[in-house]
Amino acid sequence: MKTILQTENLTKIYKIGKVETHALRGVSLDIKQGEFVAVMGQSGCGKSTLLHLLGGLLSPTGGKIIIDNEDLSKVSDARRTDIRRRKIGFVFQRFNLFPTLTADGNLRLAERIHSGNGGNAKRRREVLSLLKLENKMNNKPLELSGGEQQRVALARAVINNPAIILADEPTGNLDTENSHIVLDMFKELNERYGQTIIMITHNPEAAKNCNRIINMLDGRIIDS
């Protein structure tokens, strides 16, 4: 199976004045296309830093990140931004939805940013239906519950069929019902469409939905 994402001896050091914090200490990963991977570990182990590095939101202190055969350290800033925009979908605990746009409007904006055109209304309805939001298309974020807003954020992340979905504690603030809806959507994307998903979670029950679990401790992978 094709490797879609790889890291080699990845390190990240945060500096505040003379104080250094080693967030990642030589992380090497190999993620195959179509895998559904959970990354687990105690708070502060480096898992969110790893996710932000994989998505090109942070630059590593050392090591390599290779996405679909492109080394992020060897491409221009413009190309790195293009890779992030076209190949990666992000799901965070904070929804970051545009408050003046409806659920459908938030998805249409994501489509325009990706392709520059008006998007695909059928695709938007399909994704919102999978997330049980078909009756909320014309609602703005303040008219939605927290769980519904998270599901719209997930729909926005997957609307353009990114090669990789990076999810940071996507069920962390959700109740049981909404957590199941989000995880069922991930499984659907993975099993039916072969979507590659990397999910940060502290919840063992959520991790059971994945094909593989990577455990981290003190900035290192301890087992996979």
* Number of domains composing the chain: 1
Containing structural domain, residue 47:
3-96+162-223
CATH number, domain with residue 84: 3.40.50.300
Percent over 70 (pLDDT), the chain: 99
Helix segments in 68-200, DSSP class H: 77-87, 103-115, 121-130, 146-158, 176-193
Calpha distance 223→124 (Å, rounded): 38
207 within a domain of the structure (yes/no): yes
Calpha distance 66→96 (Å, rounded): 27
- Give pLDDT tens digits for 3-31: 999 999 999 999 988 898 999 999 999 99
Calpha distance 44→113 (Å, rounded): 33
Please report the sign of the dihedral spanned by the C-alpha atoms of residue 218, residue 219, residue 222, residue 224.
Answer: positive
Calpha distance 118→180 (Å, rounded): 31
121 within a domain of the structure (yes/no): no
CA-based radius of gyration for the chain = 17
* pLDDT at residue 154 greater than cutoff 80: yes
156 within a domain of the structure (yes/no): no
147 within a domain of the structure (yes/no): no
How sure is the predictor about 53, in pLDDT bands with cuts at 50, 70 and 90? Answer: very high
- Give pLDDT tens digits for 160-188: 888 899 999 888 888 888 888 889 889 98
* pLDDT at residue 189 greater than cutoff 80: yes
When the pLDDT of each residue in the chain is averaged and rounded to a whole number, the result is 89
Look up residue 71 and give its two tokens. Answer: 């080394």
123 within a domain of the structure (yes/no): no
Phi, psi of 45 (to 5 degrees): -80, -10
81 within a domain of the structure (yes/no): yes
User: Shortest CA distance to 210 belongs to which of 8, 23, 31, 39?
Assistant: 39
Tell me the average pLDDT across 45-72.
92
How sure is the predictor about 139, in pLDDT bands with cuts at 50, 70 and 90? Answer: very high
122 within a domain of the structure (yes/no): no
Those residues whose C-beta lies under 8 Å from the C-beta of residue 18, and which sit 6 or more positions away, are none
How sure is the predictor about 131, in pLDDT bands with cuts at 50, 70 and 90? Answer: confident
Helix (H) or strand (E) holding 130: helix 121-130
